[in-house]
Amino acid sequence: MGNHCYVVFFTIACVVFFAEAVRLNEDVEMLDEFGANSTRRSLSACSANNVIDKCWRCKPDWADNRQALAQCAAGFAKGTTGGSGGDTYTVTSNADDDAANPKEGTLRFGVTQSRPLWIVFEKDMVIALTQELVVTSDKTIDGRGAKVEITGGGLTLMNVKNVIIHGINIHDVQEMPGGMIKNSEGPAEMRSKSDGDGICVTGSTKIWIDHCSLSKAVDGLIDVTLGSSMVTISNCKFSQHHKVMLLGADDAHHQDKSMQATVAYNLFTDGCDQRMPRCRFGFFQVVNNNYDRWGTYAIGGSSAPTILSQGNKFLAPDDATKKNVLVRADAPESEYMTWNWRSEKDSLENGAIFLASGSDPSLTGEQQGLMIQAEPGESVPQLTSSAGVLSCVAGQPC
């Protein structure tokens, strides 16, 4: 009887043990499958929310094909090639000891070469410029994969074409004394004192500034002047600055009548007072930007610019005297109310007021082809959620 019970007990124990083993194996397989799926999901997950970011950020091989970024330019800078087709130049040193004779491996050496270059950074670095940094045509400054800060001198793009500036934190920019500064592969030339702009664009075309963070400059964070055109400023974060962005420097500069610029998917926050942007003469699409309060005003201008405000989120400051989004300057009301300043799909919050004027302009075929399709202003927090410098890791979606 005892032996019989022992056999029965042993048999039941074996069955239970076998069943448990099968269950554990199935659980392991399920965990393996879940883990694999989770990994696949993490690789495929992408926080890209606007048309520019969707072009490249979801691709884990972006670091192996950096120059594909140029294909993502949108707005009036669409077609900007930057350093496409050129060699990759790696910045290995943050030194800027000699602005007249920069050493190979420095950023200043790379941006003054005459050939197309795609400029990347070996590691994180803070580059304290001792003079303005003069950038030549057909260059991309690509900070993806490194934490790159530029302080001291700002960037100057003068009479150049096809320049992309991406993923750089530019801050604490000062006036620089001028002197002998290298601005090409040739000998250095004498340059006058700089104004202290973060990025100064003059007489230049096909310029794209994307995913940069800009703050604390003596003059403007970005100035685009003197006949510059085909410019897009996108996905940038602007903060802690008085006069943020100037598109057209003077009412006497009639060459700016040809200026066409796109301001898209940017975040203006944390102490931005005015000029987001301030426009003269030209044609400007200001689309799907996030205005997180302002000091004096958000968008302004003079000299009859055309400003299309589309799908922006305007959160007015609490001050009851600062609710107006717009400021029109240097003309009587009878004149400035004829300017074409139009609003479409904008979200006006906390009492924000947008007083439109003029009429909807007749767009040319080129303008229609280069305009970014506006999404409703309510979508702006998501569209601008990654504004500013990104943290990108090679081999993963950015």
| Residues that are catalytic | 275
d(CA 187, CA 380): 47
Query: What three-state secondary structure class fits 243?
Result: strand
Query: What three-state secondary structure class fits 41?
Result: helix
Find, among 127, 149, 154, the residue nearest to 223 by Cα. 154
Query: What three-state secondary structure class fits 336?
Result: helix
Residue 223: CB atoms within 10 Å = 27
Q: How far apart, in Å, are the Cα atoms of 3 and each of 6, 7, 8, 9, 54? A: 5, 6, 9, 10, 73
CB 226 within 8 A of CB 206: no
Strand duo 237-239 + 267-268: pairing: parallel
DSSP class of residue 227 equals T
How many CA atoms within 13 Å lie on the side-chain side of 329?
14
d(CA 327, CA 275): 9
- How remote is the C-alpha of 251 from its chain's centroid? 28
Residue 117: CB atoms within 10 Å = 21
Q: How far apart, in Å, are the Cα atoms of 130 and each of 78, 154, 181, 190, 197? A: 33, 10, 10, 15, 14
DSSP class of residue 317 equals -
DSSP class of residue 58 equals T
DSSP 141-199: EE-TTS-EEEEES-EEEES-EEEEEES-EEEEE-----EEE--SSS--EEE------SE
